[in-house]
Amino acid sequence: MHLLFPQAKAGEAPRRYTVMLAAFEGWNDAGEAATDAVKYLSRLWESHKVATVDPDLYYDFQFTRPVVHRTGSGERRIKWPTTKLTRSSVPDAPVDIIFVHGVEPSYRWRAYTAELLAHAEELGVDCIILVGALLADVPHSRPIPVTVTSDDDDVRRALNTESSQYEGPTGIVGVLADVASLAGIPTMSVWAAVPHYVGQSPSPKAELALLHRLEDILQVPLEVSVLSEEAEAWERGVDELATEDPEVAAYVRQLEEAKDTAELPEATGESIAREFERYLKKRRKE
């Protein structure tokens, strides 16, 4: 098991760890990659609802409007923008996941984050993983960059990562990370960089990159073959669109050259070791 979730010592009863995994639609969710990744794991591990957040307290419904939809029986229902908490147990691992999937609130952010942390305390959460996606100057034809940061010393040592150096406007992910850290809950943020020229949803390649990083953090092999095919199809589609516009094609080549130059040392280092470790774990599971 990962250093983040140490195994019980000899003679001690095995312990289960509870992780809150959260993503929010809106400003923090380029290409909907973050929320799609969380929803993918929620479906994969068959989570069940444990709590919701009252939408009337936090949303401007003229800005984030409710949606009318039909049920399987044909009945019309209104779906309100809200935040839902679900729970699942990860198969073959001593980890329970509390999934938080919501829409970034319109106001009262401090009360909103306090309510989420109250649920975290009630559900026995040991650490929080916040997932986000941002638009960036990266090429679609190269691996999607995923950054993991934390202000918690133990988390940084366990994952060999650093604290965030970002300064500027933030979303609910940044606010929740700050409040959770002040509350003493180990917290980390996992962000994918989505190519800004294809930032519309869905973004399966960015979603897949986030899932691979979460796979590394949780040390749980994931079945992502279908999503891998979708990511490859997405990349081929963007390739075709880029070739139709000489200016876009030239811009993509410029991004590729910058990316290749910046990450050349990594091609023979940690990234290859991480991919090989993931391959071995899947082979052992099979």
> 3-state SS of 17-81?
EEEEEEEEECCCEHHHHHHHHHHHHHHHCCCEEEEEECHHHCCCCCCCCCEEEECCCCCEEEECC
The model scores a pTM over 0.85: yes
Helix (H, G, I), strand (E, B) or coil at 167: coil
Query: 70: burial class by Cβ within 10 Å (0-12, 13-18, 19+)?
Result: exposed
Res 248: pLDDT: 87
State how far Cα 62 lies from the chain centre: 28
Among the listed ranges 120-124, 139-143, 256-260, which one has the minimum average pLDDT value? Answer: 256-260
Dump pLDDT digits (tens) for 164-221: 998 999 999 999 999 999 999 999 999 999 999 999 999 999 999 999 999 999 999 9
Q: Which of 278, 227, 220, 275 is nearest to 36 (CA)?
A: 227
168 in Cβ contact with 27 (< 8 Å)? no
**Which residue do the tokens 């691996």 mark?**
143
Tell me what the mean pLDDT of segment 226-246 comes to. Answer: 93
